[in-house]
Amino acid sequence: MAKKGEHRVTLGLVCSVCKNRNYVTTRNKINTEEKLFLKKYCKHCRKVTDHKEVEKLK
Ligand SMILES: [Zn+2]
């Protein structure tokens, strides 16, 4: 029996402008194959910018 949460990966969302990692999220890589790309508020840029996912650093 597969353990719940086995395919859920933890990701960071980085601002494409200042490269700061502003958010941490999770994604089920079985259900969602494409990379996340979101418009979110960046507190460093003080505006909404494009954020893309990166592997969370350990
Ligand atoms: Zn930013």
Domain at 16, CATH number: 2.20.28.120
CA 52 to centroid of ligand 1, rounded, Å: 11
**What was the pLDDT predicted at 32?**
79
CA proximity to 8, closest of 29, 34, 25: 29
Query: Among residues 57, 28, 40, 7, which one has the least CA distance to residue 16?
Result: 40
Please report whether residue 2 resides in a domain. Answer: no
Ligand 1 centroid – CA 20 distance (Å): 6
Ligand 1: centre distance to CA 28 (Å): 26
Over residues 18-42, the mean pLDDT reads 90
pLDDT, the chain, mean: 87
In the predicted structure, residue 22 carries a pLDDT above the cut 90:
yes
Q: Is residue 40 part of a domain?
A: yes
Separation of CA 23 and ligand 1 centre (Å): 11
- Domains in the chain: how many in total? 1
| Residue 3 placed within a domain | no
Over residues 52-56, the mean pLDDT reads 88
pTM, rounded to two decimals? 0.75
Instruction: Provide the residue range defining the domain that includes 15.
Output: 8-55
DSSP assignment string, 36-56: PEEEEEETTTTEEEEEEEEEP
Whether 47 shows a pLDDT value over 80: the answer reads yes
Is residue 19 included in any domain, yes or no?
Answer: yes
